[in-house]
Amino acid sequence: MAKISENVICVTCPKGCTLIVTRDGQTVIDVENGCKRGKDYAQQELTDPRRMVASSVRLKGGLHPLLPVYTSAPFPKPRIPELLSVLRQVEVKTPVSLDQVILENVLDTGINIQSSREMKEVVE
């Protein structure tokens, strides 16, 4: 198989380095321009792209009607739409603490959905 060189923009940190990735099929041979995390990212991006996903779920009894949530780890990119549909059906009640698990092992990915903030109970 022929070696392919391509540019991959690393999204691991805000620097956004342009990695030059040389691969043979699915095997990454060399990554230029990246730090250690960048090299891991390149491998991951070419085989199983994942993203941190942040969204919200409905909330009852708080200062606001929504609770912001995020994935405990980068989530498989092709399944993001599925995840969003699941989140649309969820409603939680106050009180909620920071990093409280809202959904465990969501869609059998081994990844949790957790709260991005605490939300106290508001007494009307």
Partner 1 sequence: MKKYDIIIIGGGVIGCMTARALSRFDLKVLLIERESDIGMGASSANSAIIHAGHDPMPGSLKAEMNRLANPMWDQVSADLGIPFKRSGAYIVAIGEDEFGCLAALKERAEKNGVLTEIFNADEMLKREPLVNPATSGALFTPTAGMVDPFAACVASIENAIQNGVEVLTDTAFTGFIMEGKKIIGIHTSQGDFACRWVVNAAGTYSDEVMHAAETRQDFKITPRRGEYYLLDKAEIEINNILFPVPSKVSKGILVLGSTHGNVLVGPNSQTTDYKENKAVTPEGLAEIWQGAQKLVPSITPRSVIAVFAGLRATGNAECQTPGVNYHNDFVIERAGEVDGLINLAGIESPGLTAAPAIAQRVTELLKEGGEKLTEKPGWNPIRPARPRFNHLTREEQAALVAQDPRYGRIVCRCEMITEGEIVAEIHAPLPARTYDAIKRRTWLGTGRCLGSFDMPRVVDILAHELNLPVTAIRKKGAGSEFLLRQTKEVEA
Partner 2 sequence: MTIKEHYDVVVIGSGPGGLAAAISAKKNGAQDVLIIERDIEPGGILLQCIHNGFGVEVFKQDLPGPSYAQRFINEAYQVGVDFLLDTMVLEITRDHRITATSKRYGFLTIQAKAVVLAMGCRERTRAQVRLPGTRPAGVYTAGTAQRWVNVEGYMPGKNFVILGSGDIGMIMARRLTFEGAKVERVLEVMPYLSGLTRNYVQCLMDFDIELQLKHTVKNIIGKKRVEAIEAVAVDDKWNYIPGTEEIIPCDTLLLSVGLIPENELSRQAGVLIDPVTAGPFVDDGFQTNIPGIYSAGNVVHVYDLVDWVTEAGLIAGKSAARLVQNGPQPDAKTIAVKAGENVRYVVPHTLNPDHLADGEIRIQMRVRQPIEAPVWVEVRSGEKLLHRKGEPYARPGEMVTIPLKPALMDEVKAAGELTVAIVKR
Q: What's the closest the beta carbon of residue 51 comes to partner 2, in angstroms?
A: 6
Residues forming the site for partner 1 (CB under 8 A): 56-58, 65-66, 88
DSSP assignments along 50-77, one per residue: EE--EEEEEEESSSSSEEEEEESS-EEG
75 binds, among partner 2, partner 1, none (CB under 5 to 8 A by kind): none
Residues forming the site for partner 2 (CB under 8 A): 9-11, 13-18, 33, 51-52, 54-56, 58, 63-66, 68, 70, 77, 84, 98-99, 116-118
Under a CB-based contact definition with an 8 Å cutoff, are residues 24 and 31 in contact? Answer: no
